[in-house]
Structure 1
Amino acid sequence: MQLFLALVIAHLLGDFVLQRRAVIDGKREGRPAALLEHGAWHLASLVAAWLLFAPSGIGVGAVTIAFAAIVLLHLLTDLVKYRLPGERTLAAFAVDQAVHVGVLVVAAWWLSGRPDWTAAVVEWWRPNAGRFGVLLASYLLVVVAFGWANRLALQSLLPESNDSQAGLARAGLYIGWLERFLMFSAVLIGAWSILGLVLAAKSVFRFDSIRKRREHAEYFVIGTLLSVSEVVAVGLALRWLAPELTGGS
């Protein structure tokens, strides 16, 4: 795991921190200089992360081969991505990053002596599957299911919107999911101040809309109180029924 984390740190540095906008534009235009600069920064990041975080005892030859393969496959993936239509979409970004991380997984597996990771994962997962299942079900209930239920319950108070505002309404749904995710996480770990911070930030951002339109104020206040009540109720129940999952008592 330490070895893989070192490779991930190098990837994050090379792909997001050290990559200039001019390099991105150059790769999109197919300029060799941009590819060489991007590859050089990735190689430098790999060396630095390896020296700082990777375990010792792995031969220099194996590391050199792995680093060369990682950089070359990374540049090849970028070349393919920028030649495909829709390369600026979220889906293209997700696929691109998945390929990069997949290469890092294979490299870490090879450098660590090709261990049987499947058996290790299964051995770790079996005693923890129930706990993760309970947490996943709780998050889906609080974040997603309650989000849709609240929207339906308060439909009569929802301000009318035209087609041009449909996207904003959808964004509001996603914001609600993020709010409940943050608040539920805060309740589970007992960080009540984070819950208050989320509510304060939400109030500040919605202040102008609430002040100008009464229907927005009613929808905001009732929806917020309903969400908070659900989050706190489920969170406290989980802390009481399964304290080993949350650190509660």
Structure 2
Amino acid sequence: MLLFLKFLLAHILGDFVLQSNKWVKDKEEKKIKSSKLYLHISIHALLLLILLEFKLNTYWLGLLVIVSIHFIIDLLKLYFQNDKTKRNWFFIDQLLHIIVLLLTTSIYQSLHIDFAKIFTQQNLLLIVALFLVTNVSGVIIKVFITQWSPETKINNDDSLAKAGRYIGILERLFVFIFILTNHWEAIGFLLAAKSVFRFGDLTSSKDRKLTEYILIGTLLSFGFAIIIGILYSYILNTI
């Protein structure tokens, strides 16, 4: 585990801390001809050497594997990504890097995953609760309030794409966490904060239906999160 954490720390420092936006743009424009690409890879190699305490006799193969494959993955991303797929390629790139770090760690240490400890009753209950709070609640709320969806909301919508969905997911997650940590006052603060940001929508709109639509959606969202949080806490204490 310690070895993997060293590999991971080197990756985080090299990819996120010590890489500027100018370097990223230079790599995207010049690709394999970019000097910043080779500088980026060199920094990764140096970080690995430092964290591995320069023990090349022991870790030379792991260092070679991580650095060379990191270069190949970055190069593939630069040539295959475009403006529409850049976000997807970012996550693919990071996932591939983590997989390489795990596989390289297995060269020196056996990686044994005990699924029995992962899929415990408590963990499965938490996973179910999280899906209920995020996806399931969102779908139920959408189905329930679409019968009142005001035309002004559809015809004059300047909001970000899917912003309402993600806001709802985040607010329900926050409420769920506040209940688990027994900070009920934070739920009131969150509701007040959302009301302040929504105040412009509620006051500037002449459509009373839009105001009621927003209020119903907000109250349902908070209500589902509170109910699921209470049920989860109760069931967790009984098992």
**Within 5 Å, which residues of 2 pair with 1:76-155?**
76-86=72-82, 88-112=85-109, 115=110, 117=112, 120-125=113-118, 128-155=119-146
- 8 Å contact kept, 2:178–2:184: yes
What letter is aligned with 1:186?
F
- 8 Å contact kept, 2:49–2:55: no
Q: Percent identity?
A: 30
Q: CA deviation at 1:159?
A: 2.9
- 8 Å contact kept, 2:81–2:89: no
- 8 Å contact kept, 1:39–1:71: yes
Q: Distance in 1 between matches of 2:123 and 2:36?
A: 43
Task: Give deviations 1:18-58, integer Å, cap 9, x for gaps.
Answer: 1122221232212242122101222233345456xxxxxx9
Indicate the SS of the match to 1:174. Answer: helix
Q: Distance in 2 between matches of 1:170 and 1:24?
A: 28
Q: Distance in 2 between matches of 1:8 and 1:196?
A: 39
Task: Give deviations 1:215-239, integer Å, cap 9, x for gaps.
Answer: 3332222222222222212211221
Q: Distance in 1 between matches of 2:70 and 2:238?
A: 41
Q: Distance in 1 between matches of 2:210 and 2:154?
A: 15
More displaced stretch, 188-197 vs 97-106? 188-197
Q: Distance in 1 between matches of 2:10 and 2:36?
A: 19
Q: Distance in 1 between matches of 2:222 and 2:138?
A: 11
For structure 1, list consecutive stretches of 5 or more residues without a partner in the other structure. 52-57
Q: Tell me which of 198, 210, 215 is aligned to 1:216.
A: 210
- The answer for the alignment partner of 1:24 in structure 2 is 24
Q: Distance in 1 between matches of 2:186 and 2:50?
A: 35
Show structure 1 runs of 4+ deviating over 3 A: 47-51, 161-169
Number of matched pairs = 233
2:3 equivalent to 1:7: no
Asked which structure has the greater RCO (Cα within 8 Å, sep 6+), the reply is 2
Q: Distance in 2 between matches of 1:42 and 1:146?
A: 43
- 8 Å contact kept, 1:27–1:79: no
CA RMSD of aligned residues (A): 2.7
Q: Tell me which of 58, 66, 75 is aligned to 1:70.
A: 66
Q: TM-score, normalised by structure 2?
A: 0.84
For structure 2, list consecutive stretches of 5 or more residues without a partner in the other structure. none
Q: Distance in 1 between matches of 2:163 and 2:65?
A: 41
2:164 equivalent to 1:172: yes
Q: CA deviation at 1:163?
A: 6.7
- The answer for the alignment partner of 1:45 in structure 2 is 47
Task: Give deviations 1:51-101, integer Å, cap 9, x for gaps.
Answer: 6xxxxxx95423233123212211111111111143752221121111111
- The answer for the alignment partner of 1:54 in structure 2 is none
Q: Distance in 2 between matches of 1:210 and 1:150?
A: 20
